[in-house]
């Protein structure tokens, strides 16, 4: 899902860079109001965890593989504003140090995963919690939110590729969303297992 340079048009790259810059600035502003001092080290730990977890791929059908995005997992622990910052920082480091995603396409990658993916998953999680307010609803919301965050990030990525003329929109959309709907199940399972573990040993960490 990390888009390399050369796959997006300059117009799409510029638009997503502007959206990401604005979203990142807003996240910093809102996080400063909501975060307590004790959560700052937790954000650092989460950044390191997500960064390391994204290095490990799990197999998917037809020879493809996926890895943790971590947006929903981070949002459940420190909230969506801080999660936007954490995932953005992870993507920046990956792009600068490991060439995992292009520099020109960095704005698009941040928008797709740190903003669109994280916030879509978080909002669906809140919706599920409202419908199912009991304890099981919390876990259902975590799983569905994590799954949805991957699907939305993939859909937005496909739209950017289609708008850039890199591939036919209908073809790339079906391919990206289809594969990442399966990858999202892995995201949901990993997120759910980590949240269940934290809920058991450190329940005060859950946002």
**Domain of 56, in residue numbers:** 10-205
Q: Give the domain CATH number at 42.
A: 1.10.1760.20
Give tens-digit pLDDT for 68-81. Answer: 899 999 999 999 99
CA-to-CA distance for 13 and 104, rounded, in angstroms? 7
Going from the C-alpha of 25 to that of each of 19, 181, 198, the distances in angstroms are: 10, 30, 29
Q: For the residues 19-27, what does the mean pLDDT come to?
A: 96
Number of domains in the chain: 1
10 confidence band (pLDDT: 50, 70, 90): very high
Q: Are 154 and 2 in contact (CB under 8 A)?
A: no
Two tokens, residue 30 = 């809102």
Q: Residue 98: its pLDDT value, please?
A: 82
Evaluate whether residue 1 is within a structural domain: no
Domain membership of residue 136 (yes or no) is yes
Residue 58: strand, helix, or coil? strand
Q: Can you give the pLDDT at residue 59?
A: 59
Contact partners, residue 75, CB within 8 Å, separation at least 6:
82, 83, 118, 121, 122, 125, 207
Which pLDDT value is given to residue 193? 94
């Amino acid at each position: 899902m990390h888009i390399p340079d050369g796959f997006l048009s300059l117009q799409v790259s510029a638009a997503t860079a502007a959206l990401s810059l604005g979203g990142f600035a807003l996240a910093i502003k809102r996080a400063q109001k909501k975060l307590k001092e004790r959560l700052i080290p937790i954000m650092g730990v989460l950044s390191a965890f997500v960064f390391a977890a994204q290095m490990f791929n799990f197999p998917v059908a037809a020879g493809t593989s996926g890895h943790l995005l971590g947006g929903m997992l981070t949002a459940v622990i420190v909230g969506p504003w801080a999660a936007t910052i954490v995932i953005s920082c992870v993507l920046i480091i990956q792009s600068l140090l490991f060439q995992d995603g292009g520099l020109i396409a960095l704005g698009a990658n941040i928008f797709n995963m740190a903003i669109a993916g994280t916030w879509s998953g978080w909002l669906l999680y809140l919706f599920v919690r409202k419908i199912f307010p009991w304890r099981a609803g919390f876990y259902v919301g975590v799983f569905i939110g994590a799954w949805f965050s991957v699907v939305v990030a993939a859909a937005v990525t496909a739209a950017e590729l289609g708008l850039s003329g890199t591939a036919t929109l209908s073809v790339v959309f079906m391919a990206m969303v289809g594969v990442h709907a399966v990858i999202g199940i892995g995201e949901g399972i990993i997120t759910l297992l980590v949240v269940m573990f934290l809920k058991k040993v450190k329940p005060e960490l859950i946002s």
